């Protein structure tokens, strides 16, 4: 069966999932109309086969992850999704069945989170599958939640559970370590799903905008990403590792191999929210999270010691060999 050309490919697989701002994907650009008094928040992430996902991962899962990691950034900024553009670099040998699965996964994630496709580009390459998504969100003017607003005395908080993505990568990957076989089927499935399908915490966006002093999403590991927030805010923190929320599956893995605790705290792919809030704002933020069905846990407190994060486990100081995932 002959594969479609670029314009037919776009018309067949992507035009049906485009929003009004995409102008039918027949123009040179998309169009966003923010409401009066609002600003646009922009975020971009590139994903490469063999680096951010396995080449044989389901195409729908690849698509959901590509958009999900961008939506996670918007959530951390307190932004409402408005749309996204996609650059898709297809390797030689791609099939239309693969592309149909990819488009279906993309459509599902876009529809579930109210973030329509408004444009993009599609090209071919002799290299690996590569895709880049730029997502746009809106916030009332001056209300975007930055990394730089944390103050001494504020609480350090995280959403959801930590370490699922990093351990999920091990469970899902081809070279499974021995501890994987010690987990039950439900735990293995849970961890693999958390790696494959990030869950952007958009339900927290409005509450973060109203009550958080600083926020970012956890993509490269709790320890490393906290260091970035501390640097941006010019502050320090004291973290009690015993309070870091862990899923049943991660706890079971640590029981099988205690060394995995460090991977849970430093590994990437969680896409949870790391934020700070004053004692005054915390109750309202916690109540909003509870109403949204998202667990929010206090794990420590901001200090005035700029750039210094002190970690303790069962009352004993704890350090880390490597703070987070790094590309370079």
Domains in the chain: boundaries: 6-140, 155-318
Confidence of residue 325 (pLDDT cuts 50, 70, 90): low
Q: Could you read off the pLDDT of 230-281 as tens digits, one per residue?
A: 999 999 999 999 999 999 999 999 999 999 999 999 999 999 999 999 999 9
Q: Which CATH architecture has domain 6-140?
A: 2-Layer Sandwich (3.30)
- 217 marked among binding-site residues: yes
- 220 marked among binding-site residues: yes
Q: What is the CATH number of domain 155-318?
A: 3.90.650.10
CA-CA distance, 21 to 7, in Å (whole number)? 18
- 270 marked among binding-site residues: no
Mean pLDDT for all residues in the chain = 93
**Which is more confident, 193 or 5?**
193
How many Cα atoms within 13 Å fall on the side-chain side of residue 246?
A: 23
- 45 marked among binding-site residues: yes
- 297 marked among binding-site residues: no
Confidence of residue 15 (pLDDT cuts 50, 70, 90): confident
Where do we find the tokens 């680096």?
A: 51
- 27 marked among binding-site residues: no
CA-CA distance, 69 to 31, in Å (whole number)? 22
Confidence of residue 31 (pLDDT cuts 50, 70, 90): confident
- 57 marked among binding-site residues: no
- 95 marked among binding-site residues: no
Q: What stretches of 116-184 show up as alpha helix (H) in DSSP?
A: 164-172
Question: What was the pLDDT predicted at 328?
Answer: 39
What's the mean pLDDT in 285-313? 97
Enter the tokens of residue 81. Answer: 């999704």
């Amino acid at each position: 069966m002959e594969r479609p050309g670029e314009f037919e490919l776009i018309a067949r697989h992507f035009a049906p999932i485009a929003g009004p701002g995409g102008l039918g994907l027949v123009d040179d650009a998309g169009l966003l109309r923010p409401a009066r008094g609002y600003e646009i928040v922009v975020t971009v992430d590139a994903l490469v086969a063999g680096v951010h996902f396995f080449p044989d991962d389901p195409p729908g899962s690849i698509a959901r992850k590509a958009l999900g990691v961008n939506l996670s950034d918007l959530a951390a900024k307190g932004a409402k999704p408005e749309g996204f553009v996609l650059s898709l670099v297809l390797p030689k040998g791609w099939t239309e069945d693969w592309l149909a699965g990819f488009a279906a996964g993309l459509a599902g994630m876009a529809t579930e989170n109210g973030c329509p496709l408004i444009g993009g580009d599609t090209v071919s390459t002799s290299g690996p599958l590569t895709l880049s998504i730029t997502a746009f969100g809106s916030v009332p003017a001056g209300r975007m939640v930055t990394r730089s607003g944390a103050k001494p005395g504020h609480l350090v908080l995280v959403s959801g559970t930590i370490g699922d993505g990093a351990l999920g990568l091990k469970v899902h990957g081809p070279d499974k370590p021995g501890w994987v076989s010690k987990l039950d089927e439900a735990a293995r499935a849970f961890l693999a799903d958390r790696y494959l399908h990030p869950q952007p915490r958009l339900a927290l966006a409005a509450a973060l905008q109203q009550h958080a002093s600083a926020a970012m999403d956890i993509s490269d590991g709790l320890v490393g990403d906290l260091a970035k927030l501390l640097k941006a805010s010019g502050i320090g923190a004291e973290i009690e590792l015993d309070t870091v929320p862990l899923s049943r599956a991660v706890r079971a893995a640590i029981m099988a191999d205690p060394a995995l605790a460090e991977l849970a705290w430093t590994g990437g792919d969680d896409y949870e929210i790391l934020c700070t809030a004053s004692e005054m704002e915390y109750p309202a933020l916690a109540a909003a999270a509870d109403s949204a069905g998202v667990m929010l846990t206090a794990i420590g407190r901001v200090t005035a010691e700029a750039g210094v994060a002190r970690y303790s486990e069962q009352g004993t100081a704890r350090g880390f060999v490597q703070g987070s995932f790094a590309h370079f």
